[in-house]
C-alpha cells in the first residue's frame, strides 16, 4: 500500500509517500480501506519528533483518524462486519491506503455526513468528550471558555457544548475566525490579538466568569484562566503551545475550589476509548446533521500531506484539514 512516512524529524518536506505492507488486523481489530484521513496538530508535533507514537502503533506513519470501509476483521471482532463503513480513532498509521483499528474505536458514520467528511470527526470529538464531558463533568447551563475556537478541537467543542445546553465563549486569532465561531454557535468570540479576553468575559458575564476552561495555549493564558474560573470551576489542559510553565495563584485555587486537570488521548487503552465511542454515538451522533456537522477547510490528495501540514502550521485554516484517498476498484 501507499503510506505517508516521516522520513526524519523535521519540516513538512520530511513527509514522503512510500510503499509499505498492508497491516494485518489483530484478533480484536478491523482493517479499513481508507477513504480519508484527518490531519491534526498532534501529527505536526509527531513529525517534528516531539510526540512519538505509543508502542504497538506505526512509528513513522502519522494519522490519528480515518474513515473508510472495513475489508477484513480479526477472529474475535463482534461489532463490525466486512463492508461496514466507519470512521475510527487510531493511535497512528492513518495517512495510508489501509489502517487497522481496535473494533471499539470505530464509529458509525453520522447521519448526513459523507464517508470522506467523517474522517474529520474522531480525534477532536473523542478529545472534547473525554475532557469537557467526562473529566470536566460539564452539566447543562454551564459556561465554557474554549481557546483556539476555530481549531479542529474548537469546532467540535463549540457544537457539542451548545447541543448539550451550555454557553460557549471562544478566543481566536482574527475577526474572520471569530465570525466563523459565532456562526457555529459561540455566544462570544474574542479576537485575542485586539481584545483582552479576560476583561471581555468578565464584562459579558457580569463578573461571574466560566465553569470550564478548555486550554491548548498554556503558560501565557494560565493566570487569566484561573482568574476567570467561577467557584467549583475546572481548568482542563490539552496542550501548552505557548509555554508549559504557567504561574498558578494557589490561594484562588483553594478559595474557589478549582480543579486543575487535563489529559492526552492517544496513549489511553482501547477499552477507555471504547467508552468514549459509545458515549459519542448515543449522546452526540443524534445531533447530526441539523445541530452538529463537520467543517472541512481543505482536502488534499494523500501525496500532498506535506502541503496539508504546511497549511496547518500557517494556522489560517478554520475547522479541519483532510487527506483523501480515491477509491480503487
**Which of 314, 306, 271 has the alpha carbon at shortest distance from 62?**
306
Please tell me the distance from the alpha carbon of residue 177 to that of residue 289, in angstroms, as a whole number.
Answer: 22
Min separation Cβ 207 and ligand NAP, Å: 26
Min separation Cβ 255 and ligand NAP, Å: 28
Copy the grid coordinates of residue 225: 484562566
Q: Which stretch binds ligand NAP (CB under 6 A): 14-22, 170-178, 179-187, 199-207?
A: 170-178
**Does residue 40 touch ligand NAP according to CB under 6 A?**
yes
Q: Which stretch binds ligand NAP (CB under 6 A): 66-74, 182-190, 205-213, 260-268?
A: 260-268
Please tell me the distance from the alpha carbon of residue 68 to that of residue 223, in angstroms, as a whole number.
Answer: 43
70 vs 322, beta carbon nearer ligand NAP: 322
Omega within 30 of 0 (cis) for the link into 289: yes
Q: Which of 4, 15, 86, 172 binds ligand NAP (CB under 6 A)?
A: 172
Q: Which stretch binds ligand NAP (CB under 6 A): 79-87, 105-113, 114-122, 259-267?
A: 259-267
Min separation Cβ 307 and ligand NAP, Å: 15
Q: Any residues with CB less than 8 A from the CB of 250 and at least 6 apart, and which? A: none
Please tell me the distance from the alpha carbon of residue 290 to that of residue 32, in angstroms, as a whole number.
Answer: 28
Min separation Cβ 21 and ligand NAP, Å: 28
2 vs 242, beta carbon nearer ligand NAP: 242
**Does residue 242 touch ligand NAP according to CB under 6 A?**
yes
**Does residue 222 touch ligand NAP according to CB under 6 A?**
no
Q: Which of 46, 120, 127, 225 binds ligand NAP (CB under 6 A)?
A: 127
**Does residue 67 touch ligand NAP according to CB under 6 A?**
no
CA distances from 57 to 1, 25, 44, 120, 243 (A): 17, 12, 17, 20, 28
What number of CA atoms fall less than 13 Å from residue 32's CA on the CB side? 33
Copy the grid coordinates of residue 174: 482574527
77 vs 146, beta carbon nearer ligand NAP: 146
Q: Any residues with CB less than 8 A from the CB of 141 and at least 6 apart, and which? A: 165, 166
Residue 5, number of CB atoms within 10 A of its CB: 21
* Straight-line distance from the first to the last Cα atom of the chain, in angstroms, rounded to the nearest whole number: 14
20 vs 41, beta carbon nearer ligand NAP: 41
Min separation Cβ 170 and ligand NAP, Å: 9
Q: Is 174 helix (H, G, I), strand (E, B) or coil?
A: coil
Q: Which stretch binds ligand NAP (CB under 6 A): 146-154, 226-234, 278-286, 301-309?
A: 146-154
Does residue 78 contact residue 103 with C-beta atoms inside 8 Å? Answer: yes
Residues at the interface with ligand NAP (CB under 6 A): 40-42, 123-124, 127, 148, 150-153, 172-173, 177, 216-217, 238-239, 241-242, 263-265, 312, 315
Amino acid at each position: 500500500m501507499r503510506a505517508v512516512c516521516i522520513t526524519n524529524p523535521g519540516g513538512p518536506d520530511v513527509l514522503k509517500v512510500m510503499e509499505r505492507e498492508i497491516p494485518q488486523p489483530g484478533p480484536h481489530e478491523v482493517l479499513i480501506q481508507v477513504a480519508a484521513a484527518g490531519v491534526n496538530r498532534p501529527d505536526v508535533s509527531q513529525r517534528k519528533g516531539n510526540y512519538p507514537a505509543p508502542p504497538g502503533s506505526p512509528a513513522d506513519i502519522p494519522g490519528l483518524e480515518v474513515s473508510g470501509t472495513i475489508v477484513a476483521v480479526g477472529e474475535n471482532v463482534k461489532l463490525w462486519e466486512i463492508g461496514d463503513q466507519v470512521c475510527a480513532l487510531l493511535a497512528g498509521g492513518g495517512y495510508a491506503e489501509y489502517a487497522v483499528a481496535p473494533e471499539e474505536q470505530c464509529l458509525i458514520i453520522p447521519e448526513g455526513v459523507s464517508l470522506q467528511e467523517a474522517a474529520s470527526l474522531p480525534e477532536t470529538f473523542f478529545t472534547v468528550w473525554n475532557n469537557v464531558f467526562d473529566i470536566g463533568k460539564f452539566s447543562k447551563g454551564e459556561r465554557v471558555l474554549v481557546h483556539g475556537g476555530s481549531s479542529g478541537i474548537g469546532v467540535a467543542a463549540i457544537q457539542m457544548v451548545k447541543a448539550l445546553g451550555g454557553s460557549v465563549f471562544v478566543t481566536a486569532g482574527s475577526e474572520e475566525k471569530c465570525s466563523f465561531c459565532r456562526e457555529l454557535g459561540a455566544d462570544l468570540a474574542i479576537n485575542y490579538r485586539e481584545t483582552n479576553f479576560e476583561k471581555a468575559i468578565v464584562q459579558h458575564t457580569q463578573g461571574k466568569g466560566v465553569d470550564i476552561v478548555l486550554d491548548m495555549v498554556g503558560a501565557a493564558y494560565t493566570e487569566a484562566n484561573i482568574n476567570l474560573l467561577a467557584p467549583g470551576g475546572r481548568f482542563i489542559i490539552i496542550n501548552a503551545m505557548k509555554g508549559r510553565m504557567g504561574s498558578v495563584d494557589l490561594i484562588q485555587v483553594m478559595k474557589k475550589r478549582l480543579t486543575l486537570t487535563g489529559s492526552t488521548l492517544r496513549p489511553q487503552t482501547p477499552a477507555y476509548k471504547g467508552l468514549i465511542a459509545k458515549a459519542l454515538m448515543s449522546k452526540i451522533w443524534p445531533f447530526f446533521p441539523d445541530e452538529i456537522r463537520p467543517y472541512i477547510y481543505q482536502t488534499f490528495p494523500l501525496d500532498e500531506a506535506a502541503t496539508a501540514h504546511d497549511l496547518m502550521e500557517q494556522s489560517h485554516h478554520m475547522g479541519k484539514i483532510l487527506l483523501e484517498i480515491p477509491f480503487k476498484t
